[in-house]
Amino acid sequence: MKEYKTIYADPPYPQKIIGKFAERNRRALELPYNTMSIEEICNLPINELADKECHLWIWTTNQFLHDTFHIIEKWGFKYLQTITWIKPSGCGAYFVNTTQHLLFAYKEKCIFKRGRFKPTHFKTSIPKGHSVKPTQVYTMIEDISEEPRLELFARNRREGWDVFGNEIPKDTQRLITKMGGNFTPNGVVELGLNGSATAPPKDFSSTEKSFV
């Protein structure tokens, strides 16, 4: 099985939408994708895909920050650093969340053979859509972390990367086959080894989406 030096993940956390639609501006009534429980995310066999010098970059929100440290540990990695994305606007029930976090971890050895001394925060304009991450993050990761590279829960293909995501079914199917899993008739990916992934994304073509 192929072992990766870089794994980049944006898990579909079980985020709950709260508040009345009238108070939510352009935000959607429900998430435009299916989610996974924290247990399901933890049980993905990511450890088997990682080289001993693998770098892990994993997105999280303020709500799931605590859970993400458990995910990192369950996947067989050690936490090292938090990179914070500062947005121009946000939402929240108690505090206005204008930040999101990219956690960096490593497997057995923390080795930086490429770039280092990068800042631990960055700012952007309004995101292009709900849960859409800044493209400059790819540049930062590629400056620091080596090939081969894998993106989990990807939405688009990127040159030089293997990708896993329900929005890229052919690439995902090839990767799942390598991992010893298979696709069920309803589109759910079964990884085996106590792991699972979500069904294909919901069709929200006629629904207003969040831009915060």
Digit-coded pLDDT (tens) for 58-94 = 999 999 999 999 999 999 999 999 999 998 877 777 8
- Other C-beta atoms lying within 10 Å of the C-beta of residue 139: 10
Look up residue 134 and give its amino acid.
P
Look up residue 155 and give its amino acid.
R
pLDDT of residue 179: 60
Q: What is the C-alpha end-to-end distance of the chain, expressed in Å?
A: 39
* CB contact at 8 A, 145 and 105: no
Low-confidence winner among 7-11, 21-25, 189-193, 200-204 (lowest mean pLDDT):
200-204
Q: What tokens does 71 get?
A: 């995910």
Query: pTM here?
Result: 0.76
Is it the case that residue 124 has pLDDT exceeding 80? no
